[in-house]
Amino acid sequence: MIVGIIPARYDSHRFPGKVLARIDEKTIIQHVYERASACRQLDRVVVATDDQRVVDEVETFGGQAYLTSPSHRNGTERCAELARQLDVTHCVNIQGDEPLIEPNQIDTVCHLLQQGAEIATLKKQISSQEDLLDPNIVKVVTNL
């Protein structure tokens, strides 16, 4: 079973409550949840959060959310806690603040896991010096 886990911390350093901010008529977490739910390769989608307000919001649109420890340093730790509680063969960490993620991107990661990869992540080529120097943009090195 492949489960998509969306870590959604309420107390973001730069934008507290970001996952509950609205884009049009929906919260960011709802946009992410709906896009993840459109993936063909995921058997289940859940939210892992440290805040009851996020659980309440997810339940208003029919999603599943679980409270996790508030002491986690990052979303990966939050996902790991929940993955240990669920009966899963693979876990896909889907960023809770990425409302425009394409379902086929998540399906690509799922396919790699089904083919035997132990870990997989998406990347895209950096095309500007500004992005290269931005500490808020994650970098992936793919060669020497």
Q: What is the pLDDT of residue 78?
A: 95
Strands, E assignment, 98-140? none
Q: What is the pLDDT of residue 113?
A: 95
The identity of residue 7, as a single letter, is: P
Q: Which residues, given as ranges, of the chain have pLDDT below 50?
A: none
**Spatial distance between the Cα atoms of 66 and 89, rounded to a whole number of angstroms:** 19
Claim: this prediction has a pTM higher than 0.85: yes
Phi, psi of 81 (to 5 degrees): -60, -45
Q: What is the pLDDT of residue 136?
A: 87
